[in-house]
Amino acid sequence: MSSELRTRTIVGVALILLASAALYSGGFLFWLLLVVAGVLMQGEWGALVSATPEERRLAMFAVSVPLALLCPLAANVSWVAFTLGAAAFFFVLLVTRSVRLALGIPYVVLPVMALLYLRQQTPDSYGLLLAFWALALVWATDIGAYFAGRSIGGPKLAPRVSPSKTWAGLGGGVLAALATGFLLHRLAGLPVELAAASGLLAVAAQLGDLLESAMKRRAGVKDSGTLLPGHGGVLDRLDGVAAVAPLAALLYLVLVLG
């Protein structure tokens, strides 16, 4: 194993353990982890869209307001927090006159709301299962895509955006996500509708990755940041989650709650 892959693996496992511990705890700790990640993501988003340092700080402050309202001790997941998220978007847009910077607000707020919403479903064990499913299938997609892409290779998925991604990798990611979904269905009682939708969410995860890759290519950088050795920035690790979490919550609302 190369030193780079070793570092990437160690940091990746540590991040999964940290996320799993906060997820299991739920409540305040899970919210706090998501808020810290969200504010950091907003800062990296600002760098990718070439915002000035002052504009980046403004956007990070603006996004912290609806994220703070999502605290279990405050408004929690509610229309109040959603409305403040929309207000933060328009505030950043009006002050900086940058649509690209302002779009970072919903990019951050919506997945945080979605994960908190899934985690807060009752009973607690069911909420834990739903939120874990949304996160685990992203991890599974990344792992499946990485190994399928490296072992099979073949035609590129989007060579102008991300030269390393292949159609084989996408297929491997979809299969890994489906396997994860149906394993959770069999072992933990995940609704079969959500297990079957895991393949669709794997595609969403890959699209989220491609969106961030396009932003990095436009900005002329390899990674969104340097905070995570072997992985880059927080945005590099959570681009799939940002795309998957809102769709996972929507699918739960439509397919399960109906």
Task: Parse the chain into domains and list their residue ranges.
Answer: 3-257
For residues 157 and 167, the answer to whether their CB atoms sit within 8 Å is yes
CA dist list (Å): 141 to 43, 133, 135: 26, 12, 10
Instruction: For the chain, give the percent of residues with pLDDT over 70.
Output: 99
- Give 153's pLDDT tier (boundaries 50, 70, 90): confident
Give the mean pLDDT of 121-140. Answer: 96
pLDDT of residue 2: 67
Give the mean pLDDT of 17-27. Answer: 93
Q: Is the pLDDT of residue 104 over 80?
A: yes
Q: Mind listing the pLDDT tens digit for each residue in 45-88?
A: 999 999 999 999 999 999 999 999 999 988 889 899 999 999 99
Instruction: For the chain, give the percent of residues with pLDDT over 90.
Output: 80
- Give 248's pLDDT tier (boundaries 50, 70, 90): very high
- Give 5's pLDDT tier (boundaries 50, 70, 90): confident
Q: What is the pTM of this model?
A: 0.94
Strand partners, 228: 232
Q: Is the pLDDT of residue 1 over 60?
A: no
What are the counts of helices (DSSP H) followed by strands (DSSP E) for the chain?
A: 11, 2
- Most distant CA pair in the chain, distance: 51
Q: Mind listing the pLDDT tens digit for each residue in 171-206?
A: 999 999 999 999 999 999 999 999 999 999 999 999
Using CB atoms within 10 Å of the CB of residue 66, give its burial: 0 to 12 exposed, 13 to 18 middle, 19+ buried: buried
Type of residue found at 67: L
| Mean pLDDT, the chain, whole residue set | 94
Q: What whole-number distance in Å separates Cα of residue 33 and Cα of residue 10?
A: 20
pLDDT of residue 52: 97
